[in-house]
A and B are shown apart, each in its own frame.
Chain A
């Protein structure tokens, strides 16, 4: 059906769009990452030459400059990994418990999981800002018991908390989806053959929900490692992440599109590595993303 030569042309407008606004922009990122910035010495030299020979000079200068920010990249990776691990540990029992509920209850609980996702994440993050402040609700409650006040906001812990809070549903949902496919009798069979709770989890539940775990890790890690809002709102000035660096190069004071592009390129490579790592556990790991 519809497999006529003519109907292919229906995709033409999109293909033009796709090339112009998906492929070309990525190529421009690479271009910018590999050409000298306006301020650099090479560029000044090139500009001087420009009148005589308008040539393009490629350079690895931007990429090597990133070396100065190794600490920020490491922090991003570590905090995102922490948030992903915490989400996994918190979400695993939730996904399991939801998958064992009766169908009508499952429906309601899923709604409850998704509802906060529909709130704009700026609002959700702002909510934590006011809770964690030095004279915020949490410190007031602690003060009531004679504790604190503690420095909660503007710490790396607050950034991780923000990531966990924002992206926890992205871990719960794929785990839940994977676990609904595990029949109750499989779990009973494991117990019947001698598995206690811990072994049932490690020998049966985790292997059988590996596709959900892989998807969940990707869906939490990617936005966590690339965020700049959560770190800015909850981390203060001292917890810059990759996303903050990139934002500073494009819209901030640092304004250096070439360096920003180089950083974006590195971020893309990190994300690709993460995804090829998780998808090696399961080819269908992108299922359920939609």
Chain B
């Protein structure tokens, strides 16, 4: 086999795999414009499923709940996780190992186990009379569940950055007259900002995307994925196609924008370096 047929085979294979990954999504998006309710035939181009989606109160309120839940739980998880990372960093090796291993549990455990174990906790709380007849199930349990599965991601994002920090920076801040807490907020936190920010974004996406853990702890409330699930229970609901199309476009634009911002920042850095170098050269 020569090099050229090799690359050709490689390309064909990649096209097939990406076809497998994208065709179902493409078909859904195509059918979102289908006037007919049936998924089998495409009759006329129509935006009516988008319209009915926009008037679907269940979906809209679920979306609102998901967004609020994601923001609140991510903020709390980020604060809790960042503080924890700093605290863990100053502990001995053995305690670090123990805490990290326990924190890994929600990351590696099947989501269904995390979901039911939290549910059992709340069931037990209810049997002890906490939260009255229905227990805490609803907003409070959802919030606790989302914070719980998000905090470890914050810790595992911030900890490595923390270890890379130059220890003398903190001491320099103290030397220059900072109190320890001033030194922490003025010197350490700014250096951790990129890691904290990316941890926050990870929390947001996991929170909005989560179905399984929420499903066991939502009580009667509906997050967006739970609302989607109840839609799929009905055999035919073309609004889902419209929702998929919208989500795909939103995700695609987020990725493209963040990519564009990244590459622009990169180019700007490069330009600054070039300028600095040429200024150096002139001297």
Contacts and interface: CB of A to CB of B under 8 A. Distances in A.
A27 to B, nearest CB: 9
Interface stretch (B45-53, B77-85, B275-283): B77-85
A25 B121 contact: yes
Contacts of B147: 17, 21
B86 A94 contact: no
B86 A2 contact: yes
Contact of B81 (A14, A109, A247): A14
B102 A11 contact: no
A166 to B, nearest CB: 10
A11 B91 contact: yes
Nearest to B236: A130
Interface string A98-142: 000000000001011101101111111111111101011100100
Chain B interface mostly = helix
B25 A119 contact: yes
Interface stretch (A46-54, A61-69, A256-264): A256-264
Nearest to B24: A127
Contacts of B178: none
Interface range, A side: 35 or more
Given A14-B81, A111-B259, A123 B243 contact: yes
A94 B157 contact: no
Interface string B122-145: 011000000000000000000010
A170 interface: no
Nearest to A93: B13
A4 B180 contact: yes
B68 interface: no
B151 interface: yes
Given A1-B165, A126-B240, A17 B151 contact: yes
B56 interface: no
B271 interface: no
B124 A28 contact: yes
B247 A120 contact: yes
Interface in B186-206: 188, 205
A8 B120 contact: no
A13 B90 contact: no
Interface in A219-233: 222-223, 225-226, 228-229, 233
B169 A267 contact: no
A218 B27 CA distance: 30
Contacts of B243: 123
* Residue picked from B109, B110, B232, most chain A C-beta under 10 Å: B110
A261 B117 CA distance: 8
A16 B93 CA distance: 20
B90 A222 contact: no
Nearest to A226: B110
A253 interface: no
B105 A22 contact: yes
Contacts of B167: 1
A243 B216 CA distance: 12
Contacts of B259: 111
B248 A119 contact: yes
A94 B24 contact: no
* Residue picked from A225, A251, A261, A264, most chain B C-beta under 10 Å: A264
18 contacts: A2-B86, A4-B180, A7-B184, A8-B90, A12-B87, A13-B80, A14-B81, A14-B151, A15-B84, A22-B102, A22-B148, A25-B120, A28-B121, A113-B21, A122-B211, A223-B110, A229-B229, A261-B116
Given A6-B180, A25-B118, A222-B108, 16 more contacts: A15-B99, A17-B148, A18-B102, A21-B144, A25-B120, A94-B17, A97-B10, A118-B209, A120-B247, A121-B211, A126-B240, A130-B28, A135-B40, A218-B108, A226-B112, A257-B120
For the complex of A and B, the 6 pairs showing the least CB-CB separation, nearest first, are: A11-B87, A226-B110, A14-B84, A1-B167, A25-B117, A127-B24
